Amino acid sequence: MKKKNYSNEDGQSIGESVEGWKSCSVPPKTKMEGRYCVIEILDVEKHAEDLFHSFAKDTTDYDWTYLH
């Protein structure tokens, strides 16, 4: 059986809705280190150059879909 392709207002595939989904609490404002990544508060001096190079080539704005 073929699954329905769910799209946002820009026509991007975003997957199915999750029934019964509830939001979670806001994460702490302290640095969280995992096995594969680190989550920390944005520091312009530290992160701007890497973020620019990561997103500069995207001319479609698709990279921003989940950052709204």
pLDDT tens, 22-49? 999 988 899 999 999 999 999 999 999 9
Residue 15: pLDDT band (50, 70, 90) is confident
What b-and-e string marks burial along 35-66, b requiring 16 or more CB atoms within 10 Å of the CB?
A: eeeeeeeeeeeeeeeeeeeeeeeeeeeeeeee
Total structural domains within the chain: 1
| pLDDT at residue 68 is higher than 80 | no
Residue 46: give the domain boundaries.
29-56
In a domain, 67, yes or no: no
Give pTM, 2 decimals.
0.51
In a domain, 44, yes or no: yes
In a domain, 40, yes or no: yes
